[in-house]
Structure 1
Amino acid sequence: MRITKSFSVRSRVSFFKAMSSAVLLWFTTLSMVAAHEVLPSIADMEEVDGRLVFDVQANLESFVAGIDLTETEDTNEAPEATTYDELRALEPAVLEERFRAFWPQMAAGLTVNADGVPLAVELESVAVGSVGNVDVVRDSEFTFSAALPEGARNVQVGWDKAFGVLVIRQMGVDAPYDGYLEAGAQSDMIALSGGGQPTGWQSFLRYIPVGFDHIVPKGLDHILFVLGLFFLAARMRPLIVQVSLFTLAHTITLALAALGYVNISGAIVEPLIAASIVFVAVENVFTRGISPWRPFVIFGFGLLHGLGFASVLGEFGLPDGTFVPALIGFNVGVEVGQLAVIAVMFLCVWQALRVDRGENEVGQGFALYAVLLVAAGALIALNPAGLAEALESPVWLFAAPLAAVFVLCMMSIQFRDQLEAYRRFVAIPCSLAIAVVGAYWFVERVFL
């Protein structure tokens, strides 16, 4: 038999409102990383008249500002954010001059070897896009080259990890090499005569982590949508139905968009994705199970999210020769990322669910969430920052909301005598927090 607590109804409501406000505040800070996403640089490499020429599409402002693109998911989070924004507003000729002055520093971070011999690189040209919307990465390109030793057969390419992800695409040969290099990784040995194209199996395996990375940690909007599905009801059947429909839908549009059959502007897709987050989160507050229309709505929203994933692929493309395996690998990575999000949140709320369903593990539940709360607090404490920096810190953005979820789970256990305690003290506050973030993103993407 459950023991009735001595807290008054007014005390319980006040405590509930206070903690709901806390979780809403912390989840809302996630909205601050919605813009200025870090994108990979793309280098087309070709042998021309005895020289190895690289045409690179890149965010020049991030290089000149000195932002560490491996450690940064959003340029707003970087200590150099102010300098970066100033560079974004410069006229093309001025930014070109700034980049040329920066070039010696960048050249020192480039690695180009021919048959194991380091090559000296030279900057040949810089083309800076015009100043437009400073919240959108402007199109810029620079070209550098290196003289090849006579008889060179293989090259290896890479750059310093601070410059971020580098996509290498070999041009002008049969079966060209295509590589996605992260965190300062070096390419494989690339045969100058071609033939270095990855097999279908290799492309499949290479693009799984790429897809995962665009859910965890970069796909915050997709993370919140999946959590919106989770908080409807943390039971297997409704969760499987929702995730399966969502997966089927976004797989369809991801494939169609990647193949070029569908092309819808991100200015349309991104606000609708934000709206989808609001819809599923708000519906969680008013329904206790899958409504007759929810499967159709989720399928429709899944189509939109597939277009969002396709826009990511569009930034760096997929290898022509192994397009289908790479696409499947990317999609598998996305699914693994989504399942990881669900698994982590399920583990976070599992004990509160057990107590809510009548399992006599109250003391164990309090002990578990106390330990988890201390762990989350330790992560935050190890990353001290002022308020402004904290709201943009990846550690705070993930650890603080989880800490709030642990507190809500403890409340659910504390007030377990109330009907649907887990839903009232965990699922609804978290859904409201998700809805607030989605609504902010919608306004930001439409009007700001």
Structure 2
Amino acid sequence: MPAMHLRLAVLPAAVAILAAATSGALAQKKYGPGVTDTEIKIGNIMPYSGPASAYGVIGKTEEAYFKKINAEGGINGRKINFISYDDAYSPPKTVEQARKLVESDEVLLVFNPLGTPPNSAIHKYMNTKKVPQLFVATGATKWNDPKDFPWTMGWQPSYQSETQIYAKYLLKERPNAKIGVLYQNDDYGKDYLKGLKDGLGSKAASMIVMEESYETSTPTVDSHIVKLKASGADVFINITTPKFAAQAIKKSAEIGWKAEHFLNNVSASVGSVMKPAGFENGQGIISAAYAKDVSDPQWKDDAGMKTFLAFMDKDFPEGNKLDNNVIVGYGAAQTLVKVLQMCGNDLTRENVMKQAASLKDYRTEILLPGIKINTSATDFAPISQLQLMRFKGEKWELFGDIISADVGG
């Protein structure tokens, strides 16, 4: 009898173990590095110092946004641990920081690292290690290459698509233009230049009268502006980062160069470029946008803008609302949160990339009406639409339709 008794006692225990195993299988938690039941470790690399330090505010905005998400309970109960390092926009330093994030901090992914040369320096490393290099903060066209680099994805519109849109405009409005180009001598500058030439097609050789490149280590681009004016160019394509963009706008005004001025979107910030350059010097400059501009009164009753401004007041009061880099950081952070929510309890690196490549008509509050984020297994370019805008008074005014660029990976 005691033996029989023992067998019966074992049976409920076995059933309990089986039940636990089954329910565990249903709510299977799969974690990659940096993930626990309470935490998701996210890495980031920004130029908080050096020639591109104006962009450092993007990292600060993201940090503030993730703190807000954490205060609201996190993502499916997990708090984001955001680890952001300074690389001073120096590619060797970027490599060092990426290794630190991947090999010692063991982050799940590296999110929104900034700059084309810095990201180029870690491109192969991230893909060899199979760590998501997700929503990089640069518009180089090469981030849209899921076949060869399945662990890297852009976020903002590609540089080539932007200058193709300027080219479309010039061919229609100024077919006899004499174009002078100033560009940063690296992958970022060359990518924009390629888009311009592709967009102008067979007319590129006759329309572009001068190409001037500069190094990020140079203190000023003033001498290049003087040369471009002397070339007789009546259209100026300004492919520069914020510090040099402000110098170029100022110098053009100083020497009375009245060319029609196109300024790349990465330097279209009212707060960090147009204001320091002097509003009076920026009148009539054309750029392109995909995000709303806080200084534009047309958004004052816009629900998305109200949400963004409430975030600025409560969670990031030290941030400059007029700096469109803040808008970019906010939009990219929202997109990452969406992807992590889509991952559910499968927080592996593979699933992060799978979900990032499954965004359908997603909109963050800061995108212009009509612009949507779409990705697929063969399309790693989340935003590919832009609208032209002209600087008037102390703000940008949008004009024309939303234009889609046709740029492949």
Normalising to structure 2: TM-score of the pair?
Answer: 0.26
| More helix per residue | 1
So what's the TM-score if we normalise by structure 1? Answer: 0.25
- The one of the two structures with greater contact order (alpha-carbon pairs below 8 A, sep at least 6) is 1
Higher strand share: 2
